[in-house]
A and B are shown apart, each in its own frame.
Chain A
């Protein structure tokens, strides 16, 4: 049964995804929830909570307020807090009970914005989806509400120089600790692309302020480094015409990614998902293995996790070591992000089944109990899965771009 889990945990949910994506932007995020969402988020999904303040709260919804539809209290409490704390914006996220009650979040956001004068928006979560959706919608809202039109150079004589510089300006979209760990790990992606002459305009949303993100239209190209960034990329493309490519810089794949970014800037590229194109060779590698008699899966290496990062890592492994790789993705949003041979997997039982013939597995250590005992297992801790359990280990590991 796909809903039943015997031993592995579940990925970070959409509500925590919203909080994670908006954490550093100076807003106030309110989860309309009785209690557990806040503790779950700050304990297991947020590695910045102890050292870096962010205005993330729950409403403390009670049974009686839920039954009576007492939205007034919710609005009152938000406005009280906003008056005291003066956030740059207010984001509202829903949990299962308000979802079930049909609480009108867009209306509540509108009332709050009118009353406080603070930009307010609702992110339609319900606590029943994974973080990619929640964080993705949160960044999408930032792209919709806060990114300004391209800045216009006042000095005409500098225009050409600025245009030239702008052609190398890039935003990295979909960067949260849930996929990339601490900030210095995420910054390995910046350095990696800088080596190819790119300038990082902003990183959505770690290490940069809302003001910096609001200048994102200045970039020549957006790089969606995790599926969390995809929705924002589409908004930025629609609003400002900024092209985007999908892939995270890692190992030898970075060069291919950079080439794709250049093609996107010059308008020569139509295919957004860079690693899938690179990985078509993987099919050949797998086909070659088909001729061998082996009980193992024809892909030598199995990666489990988020589709963009794992797809990029798979491409890097294939380019660097000519070993065939498949990605098993247990997250919901995989459309267009997988290569033939990769699979979207739903639930523990299905994952266990898919892993039965795996020879080499690289995944979060909490997957180990459902892996075959004779498979080689390489630990790839993922905060969105095991939370802070392996944080100390993660801090000692290289950042994503330097993984191989």
Chain B
């Protein structure tokens, strides 16, 4: 049974043609709606990637509920514990003590001591000016064998500075130790900062492997020791914007060269990234750029034959570069009708301007604006959706089920995308069952 609220609502304020949109925030920041689409990873999912680590959160009931059940839904309840804060802990000024004693109690009761504890303090700690140094010093003394990682769940700061997600991607590499790069490490590149390993056929992996480099990625580390060995590398790379600050910081601290090579959809930008990497590492083997381009063109042409004039909706959780993606598709004859997002990355300013000029009627729609709760979620003609939110907001069963750019990278990423679009056009998916699951790619027991 689908119940909708009655009345007609003017979409103004929640939707705009791109020609009229402001950059980088097209919609006013007011009350927020949250759609039932949950594939994007949260801090629990990301933290669980660190092997042999245990997460402990210290916060109030309502904030706790979301994270503890995230862990339970991904079948990782055994690696998650918490300490609940009550009014008296705020009023008595002993938040540090409660945190220290609570965390100690949890650790004492664990059947097996973890190698690392990701300890998440929250907005309340910040607002009360809690002495985090004291907390970590004391815990370090009590459990010297455990590595305590300073993590934050402080969404109140998400609009000023780094988001909790970015902060975690920063602190999760703190355990990596300084040291001389081994001989083996000299032929190894570490790729950090993303929740997903790059596809095996991605340009970066092909390029590095054909030059006898090993690649090590944080999402696929199998043990704590394996994770620590991420520091033993010739260079640290990041391809996912939210992990850029963390990877860059880790590289600087460890004295490793750093390079930011964000996944994108522009041939020249891809070539530029691969060339700068080749130059920096003095790679002898290179990819055949013209051949790569031709095969991308062929893949996109094949996709266009399948998709035709089917209207396409993209959302901002699908890939960090929704504008660039729209530009690629529009410039190859696809009909991109709308993009769902709430803000535009500064990295996409050129693509935004290009779209304003070449596709002025392209619609931008908010995802959190309150009207999105009640505006129609069906379209006259079913859309081909790229992303979970695009699928939900348009009521489409034909969608590419992917978040955060997954492992797409470079020319290979464009080809993979084209194939995924063909697949989505041909096959219906169970949208209601798929998009509500938390953490796309994680286990889900619901």
Contacts and interface: CB of A to CB of B under 8 A. Distances in A.
A85 B374 contact: yes
Nearest to A37: B62
Interface in B93-122: 98, 101-103, 105-106, 109-110
Interface string B119-149: 0000110111000000000000000000000
B30 interface: yes
Nearest to B59: A96
A335 to B, nearest CB: 18
Contact of B110 (A6, A42, A44, A60): A6
Nearest to B102: A4
Contacts of A3: 83-86, 98, 102
Interface string B432-446: 100010100000011
Interface residues of B, number: 70
Contact of B60 (A13, A52, A86, A366): A13
Contact of B85 (A45, A85, A128): A128
A36 interface: yes
A7 B77 contact: yes
Interface string A2-13: 011111011111
Contacts of B106: 4-6
On chain A, which size bracket covers the interface?
Answer: 35 or more
B9 interface: yes
A28 B147 CA distance: 45
A388 to B, nearest CB: 6
B65 interface: yes
Nearest to B110: A6
A38 interface: yes
Contacts of A39: 34, 38, 66
B61 A7 contact: no
A66 B32 CA distance: 17
Contacts of B240: none
Classify the secondary structure of A's interface with B.
mixed
A43 B155 contact: no
A169 B436 CA distance: 40
Interface in B359-384: 368, 370-371, 373-374
A128 B2 CA distance: 33
Interface in A28-66: 30, 33-40, 42-45, 49-55, 57-64, 66
B33 interface: yes
Contact of A84 (B1, B101, B103, B371): B371
A58 B65 contact: no
A84 B9 CA distance: 7
B276 interface: no
Given A4-B106, A62-B156, A391-B446, A43 B83 contact: no
Given A1-B101, A5-B106, A9-B68, A63 B156 contact: yes
A63 B160 contact: yes
A299 to B, nearest CB: 26
Contacts of B33: 38, 57
A276 interface: no
A30 B159 CA distance: 19
A129 B160 CA distance: 29
A126 B31 contact: no
B160 A62 contact: yes
A58 B32 contact: yes
Interface in A55-80: 55, 57-64, 66, 76-78, 80
Nearest to B103: A4
A100 to B, nearest CB: 6
B109 to A, nearest CB: 5
B87 interface: yes
Contacts of B371: 84-85
B446 A388 contact: yes
A30 B32 CA distance: 9
Contact of B34 (A58, A80, A130, A389): A58
A277 interface: no
A127 to B, nearest CB: 4
Contacts of B212: none
Contact of B32 (A26, A57, A128): A57
Given A6-B109, A7-B81, A129-B61, A36 B160 contact: no
Contacts of A38: 32-34
Given A62-B159, A95-B62, A389 B3 contact: no
A10 B32 contact: no
A333 to B, nearest CB: 14
Given A126-B87, A389-B73, A40 B36 contact: no
A44 B65 contact: yes
The CB with the most chain B CB atoms within 10 A, among A7, A14, A36, A60, is that of: A36
B70 to A, nearest CB: 8
B31 A30 contact: yes
Contact of A60 (B1, B3, B29, B61): B29
B31 A57 contact: yes
A50 B37 CA distance: 9
The CB with the most chain A CB atoms within 10 A, among B65, B127, B153, B371, is that of: B65
A87 to B, nearest CB: 9
A233 B378 CA distance: 41
B7 interface: yes
A255 B86 CA distance: 41
A380 to B, nearest CB: 17
Nearest to A77: B30
Contacts of A100: 90, 124, 127-128
Interface in B54-85: 59-66, 68-69, 72-73, 77-78, 80-85
A97 B62 contact: no
Contact of A369 (B77, B101, B128, B374): B77
Interface in B25-55: 29-34, 36, 38
A16 B65 CA distance: 10
A95 B432 CA distance: 30
A16 B72 CA distance: 19
A96 B60 contact: yes
B287 interface: no
A49 B2 CA distance: 10
A136 interface: no
A13 B67 CA distance: 13
A4 to B, nearest CB: 4
Given A4-B83, A389-B73, A10 B31 contact: no
B62 A389 contact: no
Interface in B153-167: 153, 155-160
A386 interface: yes
B430 interface: no
A387 interface: yes
A78 to B, nearest CB: 7
A-B pairs, 6 with minimum CB distance = A40-B66, A127-B62, A35-B155, A13-B62, A13-B61, A34-B156
8 contacts: A6-B110, A50-B36, A95-B60, A96-B60, A369-B77, A386-B69, A387-B69, A391-B446
Given A95-B60, A100-B124, 4 more contacts: A7-B77, A14-B61, A59-B31, A100-B90
Interface of A: 1, 3-7, 9-16, 26, 30, 33-40, 42-45, 49-55, 57-64, 66, 76-78, 80-81, 84-86, 95-97, 99-100, 126-130, 349, 366, 369, 386-389, 391-392
